[in-house]
Structure 1
Amino acid sequence: MLSRTLLCLAVSTASMPLLADTVWLKNGDRLTGTIKLFDGGKLLLQTDYGGAIPLDWSKIKTLESKEPLLVKQNQYTGEVAKSLQPSDDGKVVLANGDAPKTVEMASIQQIVKPKPVITDLVWKGNIDAALDFQRAERDSDDYNLSFKTSARHDRWRHNAKGQYNRETQDDVVTTDDWSAEYSLDYFLTDKFYWDGRINYKRDKVEDLSRERTVGTGPGYQFWDDELGAFKVGGLLNRTDYEFSNGEKTNFYSVAGTWDYNRYLVGKKFEFFTNGELGKPLSGVADYSLDVEAGLRYKVTDWASLNLKAERDIISGSRDGDVNKTRYTAGFGVTW
């Protein structure tokens, strides 16, 4: 009899969801899963039975979570609650040891999973591809492939990105270039870091055929969480140019960099932009600008559609200006 009781207890325990979060709706329904985030009026609940379900915040009566969550009641500051406990209609309890606090759900602007400053390896990135084939009076084929990834362990963060572009018109190659960049960040504090990077670009069509840049400088990470990230930096660069006619030149420059991405509407959309604005310390050019901006729409947890615009400018160069703009639409994967 005892063994049968223990067996029933084990089966019932195994069938219970482990640390499942619970959401009570105003219509009387109750949903269980894992709270991923709340932003833009939508609570994203990850479930085994329906995948990621966005719930209208105004339709939620109260909720419960056993996991720590960062609850923001304004745009800039938040409180990490060790757990969330259900309360009266339209309220939730932020449990923090001996000082639980009941707050109005209408006052909450964001809920995200807190991200420790120093943690084990955290790896994220994306790969985007775009293809465009036109058959008309003039045939054209366009290819674009790009990737971006970062991995952080302890105080170190490794960043890498690359891109390949190729265009042909009536079997004549009009664009054929690729680029690769690697940077290594060391966090001096929670926010401030030191950046060292190397960048290489190869163009088989334009007069500026090769570009190599080595730079270093400080940076500041404003935030990096489930809703996105934003960082800015300053660099002192050494750049080497090699032209198609064999001429070479090099110069030093200062530059400002930025990298921003933001998830919207329950992480269904992502806006992103990154770039570098540089000023040579000698008179080889007025300025240089390399910028990318775009929007991704998540079809599944890992697949997405994307629209991107890229601009590459070198202005006032005595060896010839560069001004290229490229628009792409394609698909990709994220992790």
Structure 2
Amino acid sequence: MLSRTLLCLAVTCASTPLLADTVWLKNGDRLTGTIKVLDGGKMMIETSYGGSIPLDWKQIKTLESDQKLLVKQGKSDEEVVKGLKPTDDGKVIVAGADAPRTVELASISQIIKPKPIITDLVWKGNIDAALDFQHAENDTDDYNIAFKTTARHGDWRHNAKGEYNRETQDDVVATDNWSAEYSIDRFLTEKFFWDGRITYKRDKIEDLDRQRTVGTGPGYQFWDDELGAFSMTTLLNRTDFEYRDGKKDNFYSTTLRWDYNRYLIGKKFEFFTNGEAGRPLSGVASYSLDAEVGLRYKVTDWASLNLKAEKNTINGSDQSDLDKTRYTAGFGVTW
């Protein structure tokens, strides 16, 4: 009898999800899993039986969670709560810092996981492979692959990115270049950090054959949470140009860099933009701009479709100006 009792208890415990969140819908259905995010009127719940399921916030009757969550009401009223408890239709009990209180679901605009200031290790990134669409009279074959990754460990953050582009027109190579960049950030406070980076660009077609840049300077992390991140950095750089005819330039410059991404509609869409605008301290070039803006659509938890526009401009160089705009569409992997 004792062995049977223990066996039944083990089966019961194994079949019952531990610390599972529960969402009750107005049509009578009930879903259990893990609440990932509420944003844009959509709640994402991760289930073991159906993956990530988006739910219309207006169709939710009440919900329950034992997670620590950041709950936002209105535009500015937000707090980290210990959990959520079910109650009457259209309401939920919030276990905040003070005594538990009942709030209307309609008053809640966002629910996300609070992100700790210091984490042991957080690694995220993406790889995009794309076709390049350009209007031209000749037949073209275009290839583009780009990656970007970030790893945060304590007060240190490592960033790396790279890109390769190749285009042929009537079997003649018209574009063949690649770039790589590594940077390391040291957070001095929760928001302020010091950045150091090195960038290398190689072009086998253009007059500007090689470009090397080393820079350092302060940065500010406006936010970095489940719904995206935004940071800006000011750098003092040393740049070396090497041209195809053997001539060289080197100069110092200041640049303003930005890196922004925002998840929308239950994290199904991601809007992103990053780049830099610079101006030399000498008269080699009047300004430079290297930027991209795009949109990703998550097909699965790891696969996405992307659209991107890129702008690369160097104006006022003694050897040559550079002004390129590219549009790409393709498939990507995110983590």
TM-score normalised by length of structure 1: 0.97
- What per-residue deviation string (whole Å, max 9, x for no partner) do you get for residues 33-59 of structure 1? 110000000000111111111100011
Aligned AA (2:258)? W
Cross-structure match for 1:279: 279
- Local SS of the residue matching 1:328: strand
Query: Could you say what secondary structure the match of 1:109 adopts?
Result: strand
- Quickly say closer, same or farther: Cα 1:183–1:133, change in 2 above 3 A: closer
**Percent identity between the aligned chains?**
76
Aligned to 1:99: 99
Unaligned runs of at least 5 residues, structure 1: none
Q: What CA deviation, in whole Å up to 9, does each residue of 1:160-203 have, x standing for no partner? A: 00000000011111111100000000100111110000000001
Secondary structure, counterpart of 1:80 in structure 2: strand
1:226 matched to 2:226 = yes
Q: 1:133 to 1:290 in 2, by over 3 A?
A: closer
Which runs of structure 2 are paired with 1:240-279 in the superposition (5 Å)?
240-279=240-279
Give the structure 1 partner of residue 305 of structure 2.
305
- Cα separation, 1, equivalents of 2:283 and 2:69: 52
Letter matched to residue 309 of structure 1: A
Deviation at 1:5, TM superposition (A): 1.4
Determine helix, strand or coil for the equivalent of 2:14: helix
CA distance in structure 2 between the aligned counterparts of 1:289 and 1:132, rounded to whole angstroms: 20
Q: Which residue type is aligned with residue 112 of structure 2?
A: V
Judge conservation of contact 1:293–1:310 (CA < 8 Å) in 2: yes
1:23/1:322 CA distance change after superposition, 3 Å? same
Residue matched to 2:13: 13
2:330 is aligned with 1:324: no
String of CA shifts for 1:246-294, please: whole Å, max 9, x gaps.
0001111111110001111111111100000001111111110000111
Are the equivalent residues in 1 in contact too, given 2:187–2:193 (CA < 8 A)? yes
Distance of 2:138 and 2:159 partners within structure 1: 40
| Higher-RCO chain (CA-CA 8 Å, sequence separation at least 6) | 2
Deviations 1:45-81 (A, max 9, x none): 1111111111000111110001111111133452111
Please give the alpha-carbon distance, in whole angstroms, between the structure 2 residues aligned to 1:137 and 1:79: 58
Task: Provide the C-alpha distance between the structure 2 equivalents of 1:49 and 1:18, rounded to a whole number of angstroms.
Answer: 15
Structure 1 residues 152 and 133: CA distance shift in structure 2, 3 A: closer
Distance 1:17 1:269 in 2: 30
CA distance in 2, matches of 1:251, 1:36: 48
Is residue 235 from structure 1 mapped to residue 257 from structure 2 by the alignment?
no
What are the ranges of 5 or more consecutive residues in structure 2 without an aligned counterpart? none
Question: CA, structure 1 residues 330+48, in 2 after alignment: closer, same or farther (shift >3 Å)?
Answer: same
Q: Secondary structure at the match of 2:13?
A: helix
Counterpart CA distance in 2 for 1:121 and 1:104 is: 36
Maintained 8 Å contact 1:133/1:141: no
The TM-score normalised by the length of structure 2 is 0.97
Question: Is this contact kept in 2: 1:127–1:332, CA < 8 A?
Answer: yes
In structure 2, what is the Cα distance between the partners aligned to 1:82 and 1:175? 55
